[in-house]
Amino acid sequence: MTRILLIDDEKRMLDLLTLYLTPHHYECIPYQSGRDALTFLKKEEVDVVLLDIMMPDMDGWDSLIKIREFSNVPVIMLTARNDKDDIVRGLKGGADDYVAKPFNEEELIARMEAVMRRTKVVEAPAFSLRFNGLLLNTTSFHVENNGEKIPVTPKEFALLETFLLNQDKVFSREHLIMSLWEFDAETESRTIDSHIRNLRSKLRNAGFEVDKYLETIWGVGYRWSDRG
Taking the model in full, what pTM does it have?
0.56
pLDDT digits (tens, 9 = 90+) for 47-103: 999 999 888 888 888 999 999 888 889 999 887 766 666 667 777 778 888 888 888
* pLDDT at site 120: 64
Q: Average pLDDT, stretch 177-205?
A: 76
CATH number assigned to the domain covering 2-119: 3.40.50.2300
2-119 and 128-224: same fold?
no
* pLDDT at site 5: 97
Spell out the domain ranges in the chain. Answer: 2-119, 128-224
pLDDT digits (tens, 9 = 90+) for 4-21: 999 999 999 999 999 999
Q: Dihedrals φ, ψ of 20, to 5°?
A: -65, -45
| Assigned CATH class of 128-224 | mainly alpha
Q: Dihedrals φ, ψ of 137, to 5°?
A: -100, 110
Task: Give the up-direction half-sphere exposure of residue 177: CA atoms within 13 A in the CB hemisphere.
Answer: 18
* pLDDT at site 30: 97
pLDDT digits (tens, 9 = 90+) for 28-44: 999 999 999 999 999 99
CA distances from 36 to 30, 46, 69, 149 (A): 10, 15, 16, 28
